Amino acid sequence: MKNLVILGAGTAGTMMANHLNHHLKQPEWQITIIDEREAHHYQPGYLFLPFDIYSPEDIVKTIEEFIPKNVELIKSKIDRISPNENKIELAGGKELPYDILIIATGAKIAPEETEGMKGSEWQKSVFDFYSFEGSLALRNKLREWEGGKLVVHITEMPIKCPVAPLEFAFLADSFFKHKNMRDKVEITYVTPLSGAFTKPKATEALEHLLEEKNINIESDFAIERVDNENKEIVDYGGKVIPFDLLVTVPTNKGDELLERSGMGDDLNYVPTNKATLQSKGYENVFVLGDASNIPASKAGSVAHFEAEILTENILRFIHGEPLKEEFDGHANCFIETGNSKALLIDFNYTHEPVEGTFPFPGLGPLRLLKESRMNHMGKLAFRWIYWNMLLKGTHIPFVSATMSESGKHYDKKTTNQSTLINQL
């Protein structure tokens, strides 16, 4: 019997277990998935928890209920991967050999990377919302906060869901308006990027929204330290931004397991072929979701599109066929803009988000890069889709793994140029 081992039972790993369970059957194959945690979190929900839109029950379920029966779930800490010997060493000394390994250990916050971030003000006036604990602590803070300077801040790229901090700023604007205290809150959005987002067309649309909502933007800010005493953030160029409440997205890193195994880059992400999802170091090791270093967004939608392509490539690998170089960096993200509206963006490695309709060209019903209530309904419906379709590996109707260009308003010149830049 051959062994396929998946490390990590989060969004990516769980989807992969469900996909492969249809194709790799006992007694020829045993699929095993390893994770030390008890619960599966709907991570997009961390954005809504601080504003009392979702409660913890909405976003936490057990890992077991999404793992198929024939897949063995091992709840254990993983000590290290020995890729040259094709085996996993679990905490406590148990070893597990594999024929094929899928790394899906994700990414998480590392506030200790920035001086003073996890200092005396941590979870008093300095918060994150990229962890369940952080998001819950922030909810409790916001329930009683009386106003002042709110600074929403990104430490460095890449981060999971690069639009989430913007959504946080938009939702905060809406939240304080409903509490009739918007005039007591000054909101500043601080980013290491040159503008609100990484792609020009979306940046333009989003900066317009920031202005409309009276949110200040400070760009090109590379944080050096958090000054807990004076309650300010300081950048390497000496720029200083004071805060009463700092909501920061700390540096994101891959799991320390990859560092222990000598398989990660300087942020513990695994070097991966961006089109095939095979690791660059070992041909029987594949990487899915946030754990890889591919230049795509770290987002559930990306993991979902990757999973469809990786399933095919794993089967090709088993049959000794060449891998398909098919993954195009496809991402699809709703952006909450407050007041029960949202934007939708759809893009890939070479095509930036533009206006248009989705998923049906010319019809929608979702509008790309434009605020609408329908998009907001889409975002809320997505939680149901996540628990009931996405994790189980069910194909989402009309949405393909690679991006479709129809229904999108590309400026021909811009497209060619961005393609050119990406090839350089």
Partner 1 sequence: METIINGFSITVNEEGYLTDFSQWNEQVAEKLATDASIELTPRHWEVLKYLQDEHMKQAALSIRRIGKSGVVDIKEFYQLFPVAPLKTATKICGIPKPASCI
Binding site for partner 1 (CB under 8 A): 156-158, 162, 192-194, 198, 220, 222, 224, 236-238, 266-267, 295-298, 417, 420-422, 424
- Minimum distance of partner 1 from residue 421's CB (angstroms): 6
- Minimum distance of partner 1 from residue 39's CB (angstroms): 28
Which residue number, 63 or 164, has a Cβ lying nearer to partner 1?
164
Which residue number, 137 or 234, has a Cβ lying nearer to partner 1?
234
- Minimum distance of partner 1 from residue 222's CB (angstroms): 5
Which residue number, 105 or 297, has a Cβ lying nearer to partner 1?
297
Which residue number, 114 or 311, has a Cβ lying nearer to partner 1?
114
- Minimum distance of partner 1 from residue 248's CB (angstroms): 16
- Minimum distance of partner 1 from residue 201's CB (angstroms): 12
Which residue number, 236 or 384, has a Cβ lying nearer to partner 1?
236
Which residue number, 14 or 198, has a Cβ lying nearer to partner 1?
198
- Minimum distance of partner 1 from residue 237's CB (angstroms): 5
Which residue number, 55 or 417, has a Cβ lying nearer to partner 1?
417
- Minimum distance of partner 1 from residue 102's CB (angstroms): 22
What string of H, E and C letters represents the secondary structure of the chain?
CEEEEEECCCHHHHHHHHHHHCCCCCCCEEEEEECCCCEEECHHHHHCHHHCCCCHHHHEEECHHHCCCCCEEECCCEEEEECCCCEEEECCCCEEECCEEEECCCEEECHHHCECCCCCCECCCEECCCCHHHHHHHHHHHHHCCCEEEEEEECCCCCECCCHHHHHHHHHHHHHHHCCCHHHEEEEEECCCCCCCCCHHHHHHHHHHHHHCCCEEECCCCEEEEECCCCEEEECCCCEEECCEEEEECCEEECHHHHHCCCCCCCCCECECCCCCEECCCCCEEECHHHECCCCCECHHHHHHHHHHHHHHHHHHHCCCCCCCCCCCCEEEEEEEECCEEEEEEECCCCCCCCEEEEECCCEEEEECCCEHHHHHHHHHHHHHHHHHHCCCCCCCCCCCCCCCCCECCCHHHHHHHHHHHHC
Which residue number, 402 or 422, has a Cβ lying nearer to partner 1?
422
- Minimum distance of partner 1 from residue 156's CB (angstroms): 6
